[in-house]
Amino acid sequence: MTSPHRRPSGLLRRAGFTGRTAVVGVPWLWLLLFFLVPFLIVLKISFAETQLAVPPYTPMFEWVEGQYLQLRLHASNYAYLFQDSLYFQAFLSSLKVAAVSTVLCLLIGYPMAYGIARSSPSGRNILLLLVILPFWTSFLLRVYAWIGLLRNNGVINNALMALGIIDEPIVMLQTDFAMYVGIVYSYLPFMILPLYANLEKHDHTLLEAAADLGCRPFRAFLRITLPLSKPGIIAGSMLVFIPAIGEFVIPRLLGGSDSLMIGRVLWDEFFSNRDWPVASAVAIALLLLLVIPIMVFQRYQAQEMSGGARR
Amino acid sequence: MNPRRSYFLLTALVLGFAFLYIPILSMMLFSFNESRLVTVWGGFSTKWYGELLRDRQLLSGLWLSLRIAFVTACGAVVVGTLAGLALARFGRFRGRTLLSGMVAAPLVMPEVITGLSLLLLFVAFAPLPFVPDQRGFSTIAIAHITLTLSYVTVVVQSRLATMDESLEEAAMDLGARPTKVFFVITLPIIAPALASGWLLAFTLSLDDLVIATFTAGPSTNTLPMMIFSKVRLGVTPEINALATVMVCVVTLFVIAAGVMTSRQQRARQRDAQAAAAGR
């Protein structure tokens, strides 16, 4: 007897096409087409040359005299990246800005995450909500808010002058200081959340045992809590460091006109100079720079996920 | 807890939250400023809200951004849930490593790279017949779905990982087919995760400047693009008013979601206690 529910598409199934295939296939194809293929195109164009045409780069394959197909790869864009010290310095200073911001986020975020993890359960939920709330509000508008605070006639300078601490405004906007403030401010929730998720799981009795054995609290923190929170520190740091390297909006709005960030260089190369091949080469170089931190993050993420599944 | 240490943590919390909230609060305060000078107090006024309502250009940008965000959120939830389901429930399958890699990578990819690569894709495929010949709404939405579906996948995957699988197994044992199990059992249980994934995708899309700038055509202007060009020319009180409205709407949403989740949690605890007492 055949049940009325029986799937009619026996032919499709025999061809290996099942509901499972569809579930896997849709996101797989989507990401292949809109995530992986675009990178291959960037890679391809990074080996092209600029030309005045639409699109503004030379094709990779060309028919020569209508007979044979010529493959044209120009490494000149990469050579250019190495020769012009602007790019090298932009990469270096992006690394520096990202590293310093990550450390600052860690220094501010760790005590906050620890404080939240050790407060009462009801207080914990409210504090967590307060950490997440800025994350939900517009990033662009939050960066913009700092312009109002840091300007020469902004809130901070006005307050300091009214209090008589300074006589003339301190120039803060469009400096590296403002850029760091903006990056730390924007990425702080990304540091706090993974740290909290880790610290919250810690077994409190370990610290009590240490105290019973005469260990001072700070030493107990250094020898127990800090090593145990290493996965949280790694995850939070990667979540700050990786996007900070390619950051464009914050250096553009808060940093000085001479601030060299690779995201900004890529943007200008593309939109101002209309040099698509060089912009592509910058993107590929940036990606190579990020491969190691991204792989560290992915491994951590996979561990967390499988750990969650086992529980 | 050692009182000295808790004072340290308390100070860290107070200073940290001051750092997070002072900019937002000052922006909200100055949106009610009479003076055009954004940072000098000139008396209470709501005139910038009036200006905001009369700014047709800005409102049309907002409308466009809202529509893109809506389409993005719906698309990302569909594709992201499928990916989350595959990664959490299907065990090992061909292409799993590639899929999980492609899901995780957009989460940490710098926006400039994602934006550039998608634009180059749209340009390269422009001569093909099924590709929209004008860049704008559809290209931005595709780019945003690609960006945000990873967030949905992560939320759904972790919800499925903590969900009690025995319910699904019981339904299967009773003869329900996989599709039915998904729609009758799994979907209602993971619905809150889908809702938060949808909201996350919506917010991220509404907020995105970099990827939208790359993938938009010359005549398309989303709200963040307009804000960005206005801010580059100088601070305008109108933007303060807009920011205040947006922050208030989002806060209401997040608080409502928080209240709902904690109520659900309490109900679940009560049910569990009742079940335990009944036994």
Whether residue A13 is contained in a domain is answered as no
CATH number at residue A221: 1.10.3720.10
Q: What is the number of structural domains in chain B?
A: 2
- Ramachandran region, residue B164 (left: φ > 0; alpha: ψ -120 to 50; beta: rest): beta
Per-residue pLDDT band at A69 (split at 50, 70, 90): low
pLDDT at site A4: 44
CA distances from residue A252 to A89, A152, B7, B228 in whole angstroms, order as listed: 17, 18, 38, 10
Does residue A289 belong to the interface with chain B, where contact is any CB pair within 8 Å? no
Whether residue A302 is contained in a domain is answered as yes
CATH number at residue B102: 1.10.3720.10
Q: Are residues B139 and B266 in the same domain?
A: no
Asked if B20 and A134 count as a contact pair (C-beta separation under 8 A), the reply is yes
Whether residue B2 is contained in a domain is answered as no
Given a cut of 60, whether residue A3 has pLDDT beyond it is no
Asked if A183 and A244 count as a contact pair (C-beta separation under 8 A), the reply is yes
Q: What's the mean pLDDT in B70-90?
A: 92
Half-sphere exposure of B231 (CA within 13 A, CB side): 26
Does residue B249 belong to the interface with chain A, where contact is any CB pair within 8 Å? no
What are residue A57's phi and psi, to 5 degrees?
A: -150, 160
Whether residue B92 is contained in a domain is answered as yes
Per-residue pLDDT band at B110 (split at 50, 70, 90): confident
> Model confidence over A23-47: pLDDT tens digits?
888 899 999 999 999 999 898 888 8
Q: Are residues B151 and B253 in the same domain?
A: no
pLDDT at site A271: 87
Give the range among A82-91, A187-196, A245-254, B76-85 with minimum mean pLDDT.
A82-91
Does residue B143 belong to the interface with chain A, where contact is any CB pair within 8 Å? yes
Given a cut of 70, whether residue B147 has pLDDT beyond it is yes
Q: Are residues B89 and B210 in the same domain?
A: yes
B10, B23, B102 ranked by CB distance to A36: nearest: B102
Whether residue B110 is contained in a domain is answered as yes
Give the range among A165-169, A174-178, B16-20, B208-212 with minimum mean pLDDT.
A165-169
Does residue A153 belong to the interface with chain B, where contact is any CB pair within 8 Å? yes
Say whether B111 and A125 touch across the interface (CB within 8 A). no
When mean pLDDT is compared over A81-90, A265-274, B37-46, B201-210, the highest value belongs to B201-210
Asked if B84 and B153 count as a contact pair (C-beta separation under 8 A), the reply is yes
Whether residue B222 is contained in a domain is answered as yes
| Mean pLDDT (chain B, rounded) | 85
Give the range among A159-163, B39-43, B83-87, B96-100 with minimum mean pLDDT.
B39-43
Contacts of A218 in chain B (CB under 8 A): 5
Q: Are residues B69 and B193 in the same domain?
A: yes
Whether residue A191 is contained in a domain is answered as yes
Q: Measured between alpha carbons, how far is B163 from B150 in angstroms, rounded to an integer?
A: 20
Q: Measured between alpha carbons, how far is B227 from A143 in angstroms, rounded to an integer?
A: 11
ipTM over 0.90: no
Burial B48-86 (b: 16+ CB within 10 A, else e): bbeebeebeebeebbebbeebbbbbbebbbbbbbbbbbb
What are residue A156's phi and psi, to 5 degrees?
A: -65, -50
Whether residue A199 is contained in a domain is answered as yes
Domain extent, residue B253, equals: 15-45+235-271
